[in-house]
């Protein structure tokens, strides 16, 4: 039994469930391997995922997750945790925290905000109240070499960004139907859905089912920076539909009609759900200038209503990971007030417009 204690043998019975596992039987990795610190107006945020594998046949339950933030001198900056205490345990903010036998599950990093001087994070995962597994994460600050303009001239609502609650962030590539299509990363980790507004802040007038009732439908979409067209599709109908199995051969099929521009190696802008035939003048290999029209807003692909899906990513294959995007010379509207931004990023709920 002494050797068992040495290897963290734990036999616990909670709520009638028996667990018998060792730390060696829990495998934890994270993606991306070097997460990006995205700088927002008043904070720095980390957007990455943990992949946790239970290699035993026993049940594991995550009962505590702690993180320590360290500076470049390895000095502690902050310390935070989620645990199983209380009548409403905070660990329950992690939707899946139990592994029944041999299994693998993705969880989204719940500690998104970091102190700007953070150079290292040390996570301690506690399972079944006794088994501890540590994971070191070494993030990097992101530098965008090109200046991006917003891809629309109109006043727009950031209908959904990539904050903690956004569906773009919560893309589970460990979900079996997604894995079977070939995906193994989150290509839309830093994506945006942009919706055009009128002067009254409305998105449409009349019945929302009619595409033409939306103020953004058929509005021009602009290239955010100079580059070269590396992928274009313009023949899909504006019927809010796409062939799911086709994603296995074309991971961009999700977006119906789309344009992808290469700005430099490993930096590509992607514009999705474009209007049928609106990019018909474009061909792969075309050189594009910042602000050039490359299409119009439509409802092709996986689109519930007329909007522009925009993202920066590091490739166009199934292994793609998203990248942050910082925009220049735009305004943020806050009721009757307006704030001009020379360079920054935007988030869910913002109302913005190019200057």
Backbone angles phi, psi at 179, to 5 degrees: -60, -40
Q: Tell me which H or E stretch contains 69.
A: strand 59-70
Residue 13 has pLDDT above 70, yes or no: no
Average pLDDT over residues 306-320: 97
Residue 16 has pLDDT above 60, yes or no: no
- CA 348, distance to chain mean position in Å, is 12
Backbone angles phi, psi at 3, to 5 degrees: -65, -30
Mode of pairing for the β-strands spanning 140-141 and 36-39:
parallel
pLDDT-derived band of residue 7, with 50, 70 and 90 as boundaries?
very low
Long-range contacts of 4-12 (CB under 8 A, 24+ apart): 8/130, 8/131, 8/132, 10/128, 10/129, 10/130, 10/131, 12/128, 12/129, 12/130
Report the percentage of the chain scoring pLDDT > 90: 89
Render pLDDT for 250-286 as a digit per residue (tens, 0 to 9). 999 999 999 999 999 999 999 999 999 999 999 999 9
What SS3 state is found at 320? coil
Render pLDDT for 220-250 as a digit per residue (tens, 0 to 9). 999 999 999 999 999 999 999 999 999 999 9
Mode of pairing for the β-strands spanning 258-264 and 227-233:
antiparallel
Render pLDDT for 36-89 as a digit per residue (tens, 0 to 9). 999 987 789 999 999 999 999 899 999 999 999 999 999 999 999 999 999 999
Residue 22 has pLDDT above 90, yes or no: no
Report the percentage of the chain scoring pLDDT > 70: 94
What secondary structure letter does DSSP report for 297? B
Q: What is the mean pLDDT of the chain?
A: 92
Predicted confidence at residue 72, as pLDDT, reads: 96
The model carries a pTM of 0.91
Residue from 335, 341, 343 nearest 351 by CA: 335
Give alpha helix (H) positions in 85-181.
176-180
Q: Tell me which H or E stretch contains 81.
A: strand 76-83
Predicted confidence at residue 21, as pLDDT, reads: 60
Average pLDDT over residues 101-116: 94
């Amino acid at each position: 039994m002494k050797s068992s204690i040495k290897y963290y043998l734990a036999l616990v019975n909670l709520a009638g469930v028996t667990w018998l596992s060792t730390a060696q039987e829990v495998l934890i990795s994270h993606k991306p391997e070097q997460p990006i610190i995205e700088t927002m107006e008043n904070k720095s945020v980390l957007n990455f995922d943990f992949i946790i594998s239970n290699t035993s046949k026993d049940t594991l339950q995550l009962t505590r997750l702690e993180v320590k933030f360290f500076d470049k001198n390895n000095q502690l900056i902050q310390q935070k945790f989620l645990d199983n205490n209380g009548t409403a345990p905070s660990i329950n903010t992690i939707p899946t925290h139990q592994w029944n036998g041999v299994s693998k599950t993705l969880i989204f990093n719940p500690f998104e905000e970091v102190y700007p001087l953070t150079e290292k994070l040390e996570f301690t995962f506690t399972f079944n109240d006794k088994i501890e597994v540590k994971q070191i994460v070494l993030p990097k600050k992101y530098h965008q070499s090109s200046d991006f303009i917003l891809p629309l001239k109109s006043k727009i609502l950031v209908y959904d960004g990539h904050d903690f609650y956004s569906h773009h962030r919560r893309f589970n590539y460990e979900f079996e139907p997604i894995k079977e299509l070939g995906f193994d990363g989150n290509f839309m980790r830093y994506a945006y859905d942009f919706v055009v507004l009128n002067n009254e802040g409305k998105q449409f007038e009349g019945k929302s089912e009619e595409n033409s009732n939306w103020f953004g439908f058929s509005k021009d979409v602009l290239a955010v920076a100079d580059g070269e067209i590396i992928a274009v599709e313009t023949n899909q109908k504006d019927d809010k539909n796409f062939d799911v199995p086709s994603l296995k051969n074309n991971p961009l099929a999700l977006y119906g009609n789309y344009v992808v521009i290469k700005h430099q190696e490993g930096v590509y802008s992607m514009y999705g759900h474009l209007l049928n035939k609106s990019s018909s003048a474009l061909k792969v290999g075309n050189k594009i200038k910042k602000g050039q029209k490359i299409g119009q807003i439509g409802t092709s692909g996986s689109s519930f209503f007329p909007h522009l899906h925009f993202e920066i990513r590091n490739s166009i294959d199934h292994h793609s990971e998203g990248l942050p995007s910082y925009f220049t010379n735009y305004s943020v509207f806050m009721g009757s007030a307006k704030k001009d931004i020379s360079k920054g990023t935007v988030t869910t709920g913002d109302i913005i417009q190019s200057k």
